[in-house]
Amino acid sequence: MATQGSLKRQQRLGSLFVNGVLILICILWLVPALGVFITSFRQSEDIFGSGWWTVLPHKEDVETGEIMVAESIDVTGPFEIEGITTTFEELRTGVTLEDGRKLTWYGNRRTRRIIISEKEWVGFGANLTLDNYKNVLTGQEIRFKDASGQEIMRKGNDLSSAFLNSLAVAVPATIIPILIAAFCAYGFAWLSFPGRKFFFTVVVALLVVPLQIALVPILQDYTKLNLNGTFLAIWLAHTGFGLPLAIYLLFNYISGLPRETLEAAFIDGASNFTIFTKLILPLSVPALASFAIFQFLWVWNDYLVALVFLGDKNRVVTSALAAIVGEKGQDWHLLTAGAFVSMILPLTVFFALQRFFVRGLMAGSVKG
């Protein structure tokens, strides 16, 4: 009995240790994002003056009153005030009374002003605002206050239009490669043609090719075709860079579909196109969804490809956010709100469809 009891205690201790470590790591993981999230809702003058954690309830010295020291008291030596004997020097750094009140001399010897403060809970009625989001979304002139309360005027970064551009880039740049890759995977899996094995070997080889290898020549082509800055240019680029993985994943899935179903359809005289659209696509929905989420997050979060092929024309959220970092690196009210605008959609997609995303990650190991 005794050993069983100690075993149980050991297990409980073990579980406490496991959960303790995990909770600690999770806090470490959440705090950076939490700081930005909270800051994005604070008034700009507050942000410059104090850390975001002051929004959380904590004890702080709060001024409750003041005493004017009478002219008759000599403050060059020790003197008596509020029932204690003290000196100017001590009061300068602050003296705490027995009842918890704190006395602090304000300014130099001649001001004769002592500030009374008490430790109080603050942070419940934090001064929050949506202005930062309004300011970062608009392309118009914006006004805000700096640490000293001075009003500053800037040009907005128009993140709302960048958001729309990101949508216009990410949705087709997700669907187009999937469609093309699905056709291709079907071809590799069910049709015979000369060079089939060679071409698939090329696809496998291209899986890990870094996309930097393609940027310079493709940019030359785009300049010749006058395609720089267009949506078509960036869709095709993302399609090209995403295709090897898409073909590879979808081939693995489509070639694993039951042979009998397809053969039955062939015998019924269905054409390849009908089989593909009516049979293969519906059966492949899980694989298509996995890759779709993977590709959508990749395209939405991409910075390099957008920077090279779109530049300042049709700016997407990542470029717009990076531009704020460059131009207004210390305007944390804009940066934090901008960061959250850029994250809201991928985070939603991610948490809503996490299962599919994980499946996609498992299936494909390396991407170029």
Report the site for other proteins in 80-119 (rule: CB under 8 A).
none
User: Which of these segments, 59-67, 86-94, 99-107, 355-363, binds other proteins (CB under 8 A)?
Assistant: 355-363
Beta carbon of residue 82, minimum distance to other proteins (angstroms, whole number): 27
Beta carbon of residue 345, minimum distance to other proteins (angstroms, whole number): 9
Beta carbon of residue 20, minimum distance to other proteins (angstroms, whole number): 10
**CA–CA gap between residue 202 and residue 130 (Å, rounded):** 52
Residue in the block written with tokens 């942070």 = 123
Q: Is 144 in the site for other proteins (CB under 8 A)?
A: no
User: Which of these segments, 91-99, 121-129, 239-247, 283-291, binds other proteins (CB under 8 A)?
Assistant: 239-247
Q: Is 19 in the site for other proteins (CB under 8 A)?
A: yes
Beta carbon of residue 250, minimum distance to other proteins (angstroms, whole number): 10
Q: Which one, 69 or 168, has the nearer CB to other proteins?
A: 168
| Residue 1: partners with Cβ closer than 8 Å, 6 or more residues away | none
**CA–CA gap between residue 211 and residue 305 (Å, rounded):** 9
Q: Which one, 171 or 283, has the nearer CB to other proteins?
A: 171
Beta carbon of residue 16, minimum distance to other proteins (angstroms, whole number): 11
Report the site for other proteins in 294-353 (rule: CB under 8 A).
297, 300-304, 308, 317-318, 321-322, 325, 329-330, 332, 335-336, 338-339, 342-343, 346-347, 349-351
Beta carbon of residue 85, minimum distance to other proteins (angstroms, whole number): 29
User: Which of these segments, 43-51, 78-86, 106-114, 283-291, binds other proteins (CB under 8 A)?
Assistant: 43-51
Beta carbon of residue 314, minimum distance to other proteins (angstroms, whole number): 8
3-state secondary structure of 67: strand
User: Which of these segments, 26-34, 97-105, 129-137, 260-268, binds other proteins (CB under 8 A)?
Assistant: 26-34
The count of residues interacting with other proteins (CB under 8 A) is: 117
3-state secondary structure of 62: strand
CA distances to 230, 284, 317 from 236, in Å: 10, 23, 19
- The correct pick among 55, 103, 137, 247 for binding other proteins (CB under 8 A) is 247
Dihedral, 26, 292, 352, 168 alpha carbons, nearest 10: 100
Confirm if 299 and 174 have CB atoms less than 8 A apart: yes
Q: Is 276 in the site for other proteins (CB under 8 A)?
A: yes
Report the site for other proteins in 185-224 (rule: CB under 8 A).
186-188, 191-193, 196-197, 199-218, 221
Q: Which one, 96 or 277, has the nearer CB to other proteins?
A: 277
Q: Counting beta carbons within 10 angstroms of the beta carbon of residue 367, is it exposed (0 to 12), middle (13 to 18) or buried (19 or more)?
A: middle
In this structure, what DSSP letter does residue 257 have?
S
Q: Is 272 in the site for other proteins (CB under 8 A)?
A: yes
**CA–CA gap between residue 337 and residue 136 (Å, rounded):** 7
Beta bridge pairs of residue 86:
79
- Tokens representing 8 are 């149980």
Sign of CA dihedral 212, 298, 341, 236: positive
**CA–CA gap between residue 56 and residue 125 (Å, rounded):** 10
| Residue 27: partners with Cβ closer than 8 Å, 6 or more residues away | none
